[in-house]
Chains A and B, each alone.
Chain A
Amino acid sequence: MPLLSNPFGVHERALALRDQRSTILAANMANVDTPNYKARDINFREILEGASNPNMMDLTHREHMNTEFGASGDILKYRMPSAPSLNGNTVEMDVEQGQYADNAMRYQATLTFLNSKISGITKALRGE
């Protein structure tokens, strides 16, 4: 029964990713006036598709490379600024604020979805 074996599906992973992305966007906004800081972001869809892909390699040993964040670094991308600035900073406040609001809204949407899923399962188990 898929409802009970994997009740949350991809949303569990999506929630964690949105959570991580909020840190990146907050760091961008905190560094809006830091000389030479380069704004970073992740491609949410790409990572999520990788997560739902059954061919993705598992980390079964501590020496295994984590291809998500950190080591390889290719998941964490640089944002291309629409206009260059003299101090080498690529953070554009309006873009970051928009992305942060979008991220927060989608996080809330996932939460709402999970909530209704949980209440649905509870209802089904009670047989009401």
Chain B
Amino acid sequence: MSFFDVLAISGSGMHAQMIRMNATSSNLANVGVAASSAEEAYKAKRAVFRTIYDTSAEDYKASVGVEDVVHADRPNERRFEPGNPLANEDGYIYISNVNSIEEMMDMQMSSRAYQANVEVINTAKKLVLNTLRLGK
């Protein structure tokens, strides 16, 4: 019965979206956080998804997984703040390169995708239960 595969596939989708949302919340928590060098400064993280095809299954089965978590390559903003305790010897601090508007949108998208997967599971569950009651 393929409906059990549906549970596995949508479950993998929910798991992947959850990891993406974790990355987003880390990014949002680190908006405007300063550091003393460009290397140490926080860089926005983004999850990259990959399709996992189950070739052993007879039917088409494509779940999703997280291939990698990459860093945004935007340069960190440098600001002259000699009074800041984190400032380097030249008086500069480096701000995290998170764009909060971008993150809010990403969060919205992953939450929608997560909800869609939940709906798929709910429908599949209902149909399986109805099938089990067949002929009664």
**Chain A contacts to B: CB under 8 angstroms:** 15, 19-20, 22-27, 29-35, 37, 40, 69-70, 76, 93, 97, 100-101, 104, 107-108, 111, 114-115, 118-119
Contact = CB atoms under 8 A, between A and B. Distances in A.
Contact of B10 (A20, A30, A69): A30
B60 A69 contact: yes
A25 B119 CA distance: 13
Contacts of B127: 22, 104, 107-108, 111
B28 interface: no
Contact of B120 (A26, A33, A40): A26
Contacts of A111: 127, 130-131, 134
B51 A69 contact: no
Interface of B: 1-3, 5-6, 9-10, 12-13, 16-17, 20, 48-51, 58-64, 109-110, 112-113, 116-117, 119-120, 123-124, 126-127, 130-131, 134-135
Contact of A19 (B2, B16, B58): B2
Given A22-B6, A37-B51, A104-B127, A30 B134 contact: no
17 contacts: A20-B59, A22-B3, A24-B60, A27-B9, A27-B62, A29-B13, A29-B113, A29-B120, A31-B51, A33-B49, A40-B60, A40-B62, A69-B60, A97-B116, A108-B130, A114-B134, A118-B135
Given A19-B3, A24-B59, A26-B5, 4 more contacts: A23-B5, A30-B13, A37-B62, A104-B126
B60 A26 contact: no
Main SS of the interface on chain B?
Answer: helix
Contact of A31 (B62, B124, B130): B62
B61 A23 contact: yes
Nearest to B17: A33
Contacts of B10: 26, 29-30
A22 B110 CA distance: 22
Given A20-B2, A22-B124, A76-B60, A30 B9 contact: yes
